[in-house]
Amino acid sequence: MTFFKKALITLCIISIVSTSSYALNIELPELGNSANRLMTPKQERQLGQAFMRSVRRNQAVLTDLILSDYIQELGQRLVKNSDASGQDFHFFLIDNPQINAFAGPAGHIGVYTGLIATTETESELAAVVAHEIAHVSQQHLFRAWETAQNMAIPNAAVLIAAIALGVAVGGDAGVAAAAGGQAAILQEQINFTRANEQEADRVGIDVLAESGFSPNAMPAFFSRMGKANRVYDSKLPEFLMTHPISTNRTAESIDLASRYPYIQNEDSLRYHLVKSRLRVEAAINHEQHLVALKGQLEDGRLRLRDAKLYEQALTLLKLKRYKEAQTVLRDLIKKHPDTIDFVITLSQLDAQLGDPTTAFARLDAALQQKPLNIALNTVRADMAMKLQRWNEVIENIERLVELEVKTPSLFSLLSRAYGESGQVVTAHRYKAEAYYLNGQLEEAIAQLDIAMNQPRLSFYENALVDSRRKLFKAEKRALDDQIR
């Protein structure tokens, strides 16, 4: 953790503890209390957006389209079968080997890639995500909002992100370590209580069962983590520090799961494809990895052969053996024509090898089934950019933005498309939005300054740019005030 980040967290926490008498009141609110007493839905959305800017500023939020699509698909499946059905949730991945997940305001739930790699079944992964969804649906984040209610939105977001990330990464990055004794008291106030954890387990198991996953996956994962608890001496896996597991908690989760009939749940192919993708990214020597995969594929007992073939194709791509990878991917897509992992990977490769017509046709066919899929639309727009079809890019991406799908990569694509089509002011404006979503306020303001200095700026463009510039500058001042 950088000195700046530590200082920011420390001063943020200390200012709250010293200026708000209620911050040290560790009496818990009723679990059923509504957060709407503290803020309106609009304010909560603004806090959630500011929270994500703080997370992106400090963590390696993954932009891999296939991985992001999978965790969104899994999360939304669980949400549909929870008490929060109909509420907005946003699931994202952090590129970090730690075993953990966390929930933030407005339904933002972060999952570490280390958690996916560690789970042995898709139901185990779903169990942890369902647990975090339960923390949101049961309003266990209420106290974090209560602590931040008298702060400006940007400052409140820094506080809550510091708590969420400090808890998730533990050790020196934790809020208590950053801010000393007073912050430790504040952290203890905001940490989920045993009652919160029990309720999240109970609700999470219900969601698992309703979603078609094995409810026994939660106690199974707890049991494995509990064994790890007895093995580690000093440095525990982060999951154990943020979700303490006792024999009683494991036993309680077994009892909760026993209320449901046994479910023989099969992992989805996509779960194993995602794990394959993560293994390839983590591999140090791709030549050696390819040799190991060849040996595994020659073993006729291999159950998940298609996932291993995909892993082989991805490894061949890393080694720039494109034609061999193309052959493997073509065989896979014949068997699984609707699997988005194969559709995107093969389409990108076809375009790279000089056959964009086939790539576009495949993506368009997939978009007939999923017209608003972010990954498919983004890949298609990126290909259209390379073919200088600027209007297609703009039409594709602006449709998503109008539906409140806003990510840095989408705004960057729009910026490039508008720039290439000669609409310079709009290009700088969208580039500013991309920087803003990444928490890069100085860069965002610089882009708007450039836009304001363009010749022949229309009244409408001037008003639009000036409005955003004032907002960004106000947020930067609020954050700068905390480190003075």
Structure tokens given for 456:
């022949």
Confidence band, pLDDT 50/70/90 cuts, at residue 189: very low
Domain range annotation of the chain = 3-257, 268-353
Q: Do β-strands 108-112 and 101-103 pair in parallel, antiparallel, or remain unpaired? A: antiparallel
Mean pLDDT of the region 289-310: 90
Residues 6+ apart with CB under 8 A from 19: none
Q: Which amino acid is at 441?
A: L
365-382: pLDDT as tens digits? 999 999 989 999 999 999
Whole-angstrom Cα distance, residue 234 to residue 232? 6
Mean pLDDT of the region 342-347: 98
Whole-angstrom Cα distance, residue 163 to residue 157? 10
- Please report the pLDDT score of residue 319 as a whole number: 98
Q: Is the pLDDT of residue 432 over 70?
A: yes
Confidence band, pLDDT 50/70/90 cuts, at residue 245: low
Whole-angstrom Cα distance, residue 302 to residue 259? 34
Whole-angstrom Cα distance, residue 365 to residue 284? 36
Q: Which of 56-60, 233-237, 370-374, 448-452 has the lowest mean pLDDT?
A: 233-237
Confidence band, pLDDT 50/70/90 cuts, at residue 43: confident
User: What average pLDDT does the chain have?
Assistant: 80
Mean pLDDT of the region 280-297: 95
Q: Is the pLDDT of residue 293 over 90?
A: yes
Q: What percent of the chain has pLDDT over 70?
A: 76
Q: CB count, 10 Å around CB of 459?
A: 7
- Please report the pLDDT score of residue 82 as a whole number: 92
